[in-house]
Structure 1
Amino acid sequence: MTVRIFANARVFEGDSFSPPRTVTVVDGRVRSIDEAAPDWARADPDSRTVDLAGQYLLPGFIESHGHPAMLARTLLEVDVTPQSAGSIAAIQDAVAAAVQDPPADGWIRGAGWLEGYLDDRRVPTRQDLDAVAPDHPVVLIRGCRHIALANSKALELSGIDASTADPAGGRLVRDPDTGEPTGILQEAAQDLLQIPAYTPEMLERGFALAQAKFAEWGVTTVNDMSTGSAEMRLYTALNRADRLGVRVRPWLWALDQMGMKGLLPAAVGAGITSGLGDDMVRIQGMKFVLDGGVGGQTAALTCPYEHSDETGILYYDDEEITAAVRRALEHGLRPAIHGIGDAAIDQALRALERTGLMGRVEEMRARIEHCTLPSDENLDALARHGIIAASSVGFVYHIGDSYLDVLGAERMERVYPHRTFIDRGIVAPGNSDVPVTNGNPWEGIYGAVTRKSSSGQVLDTVQNITVAEALAAYTSLAAYATFEEDTLGTIAVGAHADFGVYERSPFEVDVEELKDFTPVGVYLAGEPVSPN
């Protein structure tokens, strides 16, 4: 028996904190919350006491929609995020530096560029990359992960030229005069790139960096929304070796798409169902993707983007996606369907309804991922069937300006509509979609409360929620979305002892300070995973 005693802790109670209490943890779970630890706990010769001296104890945050193994890869790659490379010249400098010490396979990989945040205010091209890397293949993924930029060498090695046809659900952007590829590959066109896979050793090295990030952010559980076979091998190996510092909730990638092999047939054939696993790694279900992203104007909308005739991309027709979702439901696998634009959310809801298995949909707490721009009809259906809106509200702070640019002010009042979700009784856990945006939940909480972007722009004044409501989105509601509301996202008897320790109460500071909150200690199953 392992006993840990957290003394003088102000314990989170949803919309306030308790007076100083003692939280006693046995074998990684909360055994009691009282004024003092039980006598038997204090008498245990191996017990350990942590005096929190009146600091604030929050449940460990839950990233309800992230890509931890993608973050692992990203942390090994060239950083071309707006914070690190704010111009095309800066992107070129970063690539040129990587060319001096390329990976063993010769491919320069990077991620994070967003043209709306570049000084140049234009999309980079292969010629920009060719100027600094003519002899090395270079692929830089846009921050949304739905668009890639490749240089001429990468296109050549992948057999892509002017004669290459657009794949279904994707597009090669071409020079209007010559028909030659510009180097921009949208959605399924990214599958044409023949990029070597990361080795298990590389992936494990990157995941160690990713785990350090989650600890820094106070995240103790993360849903992996793009789990493939390599990711499952990684999580299984680390779990077996007791080297996981974060709980992982894998969603298996369902269909062949975006360069990833679909696992739906294999999972069904092997009899894998939702809930398989243990407290550290537990399979959730199947992830389906219907459209792209807003910033790159590939999310599927019912009305065009501002100043454009573009309405985005849908990957599948209704019959194809309905059949796939039905197969998952029939074999005990929860569906999580990526639907960003209102047209994609429409299709997701049609697919669920046309399976003829709405009772199972409701029992399984089916999810619409991102659920960015739901219509009134969409909201009615979500509420009626108890479908979870896994909202990427973290985008409000990080890339909200680009949303306002391409959607306009009127539609911005419907983007990640948490006030409406709450008022209609729709469960909407928050997320960052890390590494699409920074995975710090406090930045998502700040954006949900203030509806301000990182530039200070107020995006709307309609969908603001309270601090308590925003905290719930990253704790109790996120736990509900994995059927773990009794054991995660709460500090209660029987729950996992996953905590973040803070010097200040988020209810007692100016809201502008929320985005800068940092835990001084993080605990997983009662054991520290960051310095305290």
Structure 2
Amino acid sequence: MPLRPDTVIENATIITGDPNRPYASRVGLWNGVILGVDDDLDTLDEPAHVIDAAGATLLPGFNDVHAHSVWFGQTLMEADLGACRTSEEVYRALGERVKDAGAEWVIASNFHPLALQDGPLRIDRLDDIGDGRPVVIKHNSGHALTVSSEALRRAGIALDHPDQPDGGEIRVDEHGRPTGLLDENAMRPVQALLQPESETLITRALDLATSRYVSEGLTSVTDAGIAGGWIGHSPREFGAYQTARDKRLLSTRMQTMITIDALHDVAGAPEDATVRSLSAGVRTGVGDEWLQIGPAKIFTDGSLIGSTAAMSQDYHHCTHHRGYFQGDPELMRDHALEAAAGGWSLAMHAIGDAAVDYAVDVIGEARRRFGVPRMPHRIEHGGVVRDDQLAAIAGVDAVLVPQPRFIAEFGDAMIDKLGPDRSLLSYPGQRVLDAGVVLPGSSDRPVAGGAPLSVIQAFVERCTESGQDYGPADRITAAQAVHAYTVGSAQATGWAGRKGQIIPGQLADLVVLGQDPTDPGTDPSEIADIPVLATVVGGETVFGDEHWTTLSPAHKETLL
């Protein structure tokens, strides 16, 4: 008996991601998967529903392989400093938050310190605004906090000549008094006062974040670090993800990286390898197409904007400073290899080229000793990547995960940090493809804007916020950028062949756009403004026009 599709979408411009049949005009969905396109459907029964797309463009659902979903969701609940361009604007925003907040802490997000036009924040002003309550300002980079004296006091940080932590810095003035700026590991004492965060807060953040995701065409997202370290929110964070899924609060498919800090020694038989894992030996790959554990996240260095990323040469205009590693390199190596021995893929944060060298070396050793991983090993970011390093990344069959949106938002500051020559090696695009390395789509949201079409535009334009070219040789086409956000992302996350293309048997995850971003007539500067008309996850419309769930063969209407 012929199969009856749940839904057929017709009269569409479908970009399939299939090199054997790159375009189609209709697609059939059944039970959450794709049945086929065009003439594949001719032998099937009449569908339960038909949607006339009226010429709209259908793509595989976008897949962001590096974002921070709980953190992003929290920014939607906290004071938003993203638009502040002067310290006075920051103080006013915090003052308004103090009036509205009933909580003990005053917390703000999306702070861009380099955007301030009238100098840095002053701790005494934060103390006045807090009026006895601790003030915590989260920098958009995620690698720094600016806090009040009360926050320092509660965290046990001395207000005069404080002891400096390994892998971080408590910034002080000329008298040795803290300015309130905490870099990298120096954040941890303050974070320890706010964590673990409750399951209720985490699930609320995930609800807010994934609701935003689907409005932008995202159907899959990887959370790049949960359950431990300075990036985690609770040791029970994956459990909160499960609760969110059980309560139908996850609008997108989610993969989570577990930070290396959350792994621990797990005993085995005498003949077994020494491994670092979760209890019971839980490791990369556990889960299903809706919620899965991905790689182990390892922070090797810091931030480019904060000048804490580990470089092989001094920062531009900064003598004798090359950044630093976040921990002892040998200990980090041991932990990474023990995780790999326990079946974990590795996702190594490496922004500076010295950190990239280190990550390639560790991944190469892991692959030699423990074989092909469950899903690809990865290097996150690549703020500076030389051509020889790209060849080495290809040689160990790893994935590089750059964020082109950084260029559009922070490119001027990055050129200042790197100088004109090294900026040509920063956050590569075309060079990744030329080296034969998988290029996925990612944003690092909320560090930078995460709407996929805006990231695709940044892939194509590679212009800074002031309009400077930024490594123009690494520009890619809109078609290549769409491929990265769909096919490339599926490959990077271990889902090649199951998602990322509109072909029979793959998951029925789609985004419907009002214009084809890959059309030669589309102005690259307008890609981010293309409307998202609908988003479908597993055959179910989770965002968009209500007709997607109501049309039938006897009552056809158009989407537009």
Q: Same fold (TM over 0.5)?
A: yes
Shorter chain as denominator, the TM-score bin is over 0.9
Instruction: Tell me the residue number matched to 2:135.
Output: 138
Residue 231 in structure 1 maps to residue 237 in structure 2: yes
Matches within 5 A, 1:133-532: 133-161=130-158, 162-176=160-174, 178-193=175-190, 194-197=192-195, 198-228=197-227, 229-255=235-261, 262-265=262-265, 267-309=277-319, 310-355=321-366, 357=368, 360=371, 364-508=375-519, 509-532=522-545
Query: Taking structure 1 as reference, are residues 298 and 247 closer, same or farther at Cα in structure 2, changes over 3 Å only?
Result: same
Where 1:474 maps in the other structure, the secondary structure is helix
Instruction: Tell me the residue number matched to 2:123.
Output: 126
Where 2:193 maps in the other structure, the secondary structure is coil
Instruction: Tell me the residue number matched to 1:78.
Output: 79
Separation of aligned partners in 2, 1:125 and 1:299? 25
Where 1:372 maps in the other structure, the secondary structure is coil
- Which letter maps to 2:260? A
Deviation at 1:304, TM superposition (A): 1.5
Separation of aligned partners in 1, 2:200 and 2:105? 17
Per-residue deviation, residues 39-71 of structure 1 (Å, max 9, x unmatched): 65426xxx2222211211011111011111111
Per-residue deviation, residues 99-149 of structure 1 (Å, max 9, x unmatched): 112243x111112222221222x3323223223223111111111100110
Deviation at 1:361, TM superposition (A): 5.2
5+ long unaligned stretches in structure 2: 228-234, 267-276, 546-560
Per-residue deviation, residues 233-280 of structure 1 (Å, max 9, x unmatched): 22211222333210001110112xxxxxx2344744321122110110
Where 1:42 maps in the other structure, the secondary structure is coil
Per-residue deviation, residues 362-386 of structure 1 (Å, max 9, x unmatched): 6742111112211233222101111
Deviation at 1:167, TM superposition (A): 1.3
Separation of aligned partners in 2, 1:191 and 1:19? 50
Matching residue within 94, 107, 110 for 1:109: 107
The worse-fitting range, judged by mean Cα deviation, of 332-341 and 390-399 is: 390-399
Q: Verify the 8 A CA contact 2:16 2:24 in the aligned structure 1.
A: no
The number of aligned residues is: 518
Where 2:498 maps in the other structure, the secondary structure is coil
Q: Verify the 8 A CA contact 1:322 1:352 in the aligned structure 2.
A: no
Deviation at 1:90, TM superposition (A): 0.9
Matches within 5 A, 1:88-99: 88-99=87-98
Separation of aligned partners in 2, 1:355 and 1:405? 36
| Alignment RMSD (CA, Å) | 2.1
Residue 23 in structure 1 maps to residue 27 in structure 2: yes
Separation of aligned partners in 1, 2:286 and 2:528? 36
Q: Verify the 8 A CA contact 2:345 2:373 in the aligned structure 1.
A: no
Per-residue deviation, residues 143-197 of structure 1 (Å, max 9, x unmatched): 1100110011111111211243111111101112x21111011100000214323
Deviation at 1:22, TM superposition (A): 2.1
TM-score (norm 2): 0.88
The worse-fitting range, judged by mean Cα deviation, of 14-23 and 491-500 is: 14-23
Q: Verify the 8 A CA contact 1:21 1:35 in the aligned structure 2.
A: no
Query: Taking structure 1 as reference, are residues 20 and 363 closer, same or farther at Cα in structure 2, changes over 3 Å only?
Result: closer
Q: Verify the 8 A CA contact 1:8 1:22 in the aligned structure 2.
A: yes
Per-residue deviation, residues 189-234 of structure 1 (Å, max 9, x unmatched): 0002143233222222222211121012211100011121343122
Separation of aligned partners in 2, 1:132 and 1:242? 39
Separation of aligned partners in 2, 1:191 and 1:154? 12
Q: Verify the 8 A CA contact 1:520 1:531 in the aligned structure 2.
A: yes
Where 2:254 maps in the other structure, the secondary structure is strand
Instruction: Tell me the residue number matched to 1:5.
Output: 8
Query: Taking structure 1 as reference, are residues 408 and 25 closer, same or farther at Cα in structure 2, changes over 3 Å only?
Result: same
Where 2:98 maps in the other structure, the secondary structure is helix
Instruction: Tell me the residue number matched to 1:258.
Output: none
5+ long unaligned stretches in structure 1: 256-261
Deviation at 1:409, TM superposition (A): 1.4
Give percent identity, aligned residues only.
29
- Which letter maps to 1:395? F
Where 1:494 maps in the other structure, the secondary structure is coil
Separation of aligned partners in 1, 2:512 and 2:95? 42
